[in-house]
Structure 1
């Protein structure tokens, strides 16, 4: 079993409901998928089995069923010589992906211990190579209260530029279309309809974007809420696994850095959750956004920076608002 880290993780706000869990995806290089899968089984226990071409599952581990795969559609084409050659050539830029089941906050220190074991075995993150556009994706379960889900979406839209400033994204991921900012027009629409239902938010969101390549990807959530409507409204989205969760894709993976832990992306998302539950701050930011948009027009690079600095001022404490 892995040695647990000392990091503690504040729970996702749940009100009077059950604890909200969070699935996590970690992209990295430096290890093959089979070497990574064996290390996970050695570290967390469980039974290792192949689950497809260049894909593995570790069943019965300390964290449940873990998945490891080479993160490319090419692997699904099967084991043919030319495909295998292409996969081997692409390995420097195509990540291995570790996928967890939904975890509780008590599980996260165990996952952080595994992250450290992968680092010591040679796993490499976003900043270890020029073309390593690797990320950590959080999949927090949505709150039981649909209103809080809607306010979390609104809070992210208002905080996104600040999140980019507070934890700058690696240049490779910034220049490739992995975590493109939401269009300002989408934030305009969210601010103009702060009491929108999730059904209305489905329409607002898909009116302004048809891609999953954002720091917060809501396509899995909307497909969960209304799969038939989703297939009609977003036919170009490609395969989307429905799940009652946010898909937070913004954070870099810095698995090779000894002073980094999963607490970094966790704290980043918790800022969004905290602002969503601070009604006075949320409505103030909505008013500020409308005034800022009126003053600056279409947000270009410099106005985005100005808005991020304004949000930092609103949050106080050097841009940090501690989760309750």
Structure 2
């Protein structure tokens, strides 16, 4: 009997809005944490796969420029090990000591790979990066007993206005019980207190049908309850982009980079698994965008949630049929 070849590739879904307000293709940045390979070894493996040229920023931070998918940085995930990133007023480490300590700490501190913004219709090419990581022995969540490695998406907001930001956050909190169940966060992330969901009181205020505030009021309400980066969907970079003075009045020293993107933090990067792709996680984010773009469905689901008396796990069952394409 002839064997049937099964395709193991997963299609990358496209969101309802492909372009931004200027008519350009939206972009998304990707961040992946891993261990098992140094920043230097990793960046040269990426160069071999994607082309480009390497710039050494310090012994533990490298940038690949003009690769097939744009610029990529790889570095040990600790500001203390990168003298150029150490701000004034805090603890500083001289370069030679930082370099030495970095070599010693590389067995404990993960590396972080960060892509420059990639056109949203080319996101599938990031899976080539994963192949390079596996080729040099990079390891992820499934290889660590006490640490879960993160995958983050930074999708550009399609329209830079309050209604779009509010709609996306409403959609996210309504789908988040399902998202968290699908992602199945590693227990170590829970133990480390990583990426807390939004407080229930804030969720109920946010999804109230009449809640469509101006951007200043939205920022004030958000910061009053969420003055932290520790959320599944971290809005601080976006809010800082909208109104830096307002955010810095509450968080003057927080490490935030202003950009017109959402920061979706996922707790599971299975880097060494040859079957792992970022597609399923991305496609779940697209479900958030689909709901955010359908105002009638968003309002109806909000009303249903406000009347719901069950637990989050059961609510995940309710929204699953809406979230899945």
**Class of the TM-score when normalised by the shorter of the 2 chains:** 0.7 to 0.9
Write the distance in 1 (CA, Å) between the matches of 2:100 and 2:60. Answer: 13
Q: Specify the alignment match of 1:11 in structure 2.
A: 14
Q: Specify the alignment match of 1:122 in structure 2.
A: 137
1:219 aligns with 2:215: no
What are the residue-to-residue correspondences of 1:253-272 with 2, within 5 Å? 253-272=269-288
Q: Specify the alignment match of 1:308 in structure 2.
A: 313
- The structural deviation recorded for 1:226 is 0.7
- The structural deviation recorded for 1:65 is 1.5
- Rate the CA distance shift 1:116–1:189 in 2: closer, same or farther, 3 A: same
Q: Specify the alignment match of 2:76 in structure 1.
A: 70
Q: Specify the alignment match of 1:191 in structure 2.
A: 207
- The structural deviation recorded for 1:239 is 1.9
5+ residue gaps, structure 1, are 296-302
5+ residue gaps, structure 2, are 1-7, 83-92
Q: Specify the alignment match of 2:35 in structure 1.
A: 29
User: Which residue of 105, 109, 112 corresponds with 1:94?
Assistant: 109
- The structural deviation recorded for 1:232 is 0.5
Moved more, 117-126 or 103-112: 103-112
User: Which residue of 220, 241, 250 corresponds with 2:257?
Assistant: 241
The answer as to whether partners of 1:50 and 1:57 remain within 8 angstroms in 2 is yes
Cα deviation per residue 1:60-100 (whole Å; 9 max; x = unaligned)? 1111221111111221234344x455434443442111111
Cα deviation per residue 1:229-275 (whole Å; 9 max; x = unaligned)? 11102235x22110000000124111111221010220121121112
Q: Specify the alignment match of 2:178 in structure 1.
A: 162
Moved more, 282-291 or 28-37: 282-291
Write the distance in 2 (CA, Å) between the matches of 1:165 and 1:72. Answer: 30
Write the distance in 1 (CA, Å) between the matches of 2:283 and 2:183. Answer: 11
Q: Specify the alignment match of 1:143 in structure 2.
A: 158
3-state SS of paired residue (2:266): coil
Write the distance in 1 (CA, Å) between the matches of 2:77 and 2:17. Answer: 32
Alignment size in residue pairs = 303
Root mean square deviation of aligned Cα: 2.2
Write the distance in 2 (CA, Å) between the matches of 1:85 and 1:145. Answer: 44
- Rate the CA distance shift 1:34–1:127 in 2: closer, same or farther, 3 A: same
1:107 aligns with 2:119: no
Q: Specify the alignment match of 1:283 in structure 2.
A: 299
Write the distance in 1 (CA, Å) between the matches of 2:169 and 2:45. Answer: 37
Write the distance in 2 (CA, Å) between the matches of 1:59 and 1:200. Answer: 40
Alignment TM-score, normalising by the size of structure 2: 0.86
3-state SS of paired residue (1:252): coil
- Rate the CA distance shift 1:58–1:208 in 2: closer, same or farther, 3 A: same
- The structural deviation recorded for 1:278 is 2.7
3-state SS of paired residue (2:207): helix
The answer as to whether partners of 1:312 and 1:320 remain within 8 angstroms in 2 is no
The answer as to whether partners of 1:21 and 1:105 remain within 8 angstroms in 2 is yes
3-state SS of paired residue (1:31): coil
Q: Which of structures 1 and 2 has the larger relative contact order (alpha carbons within 8 angstroms, sep 6+)?
A: 2
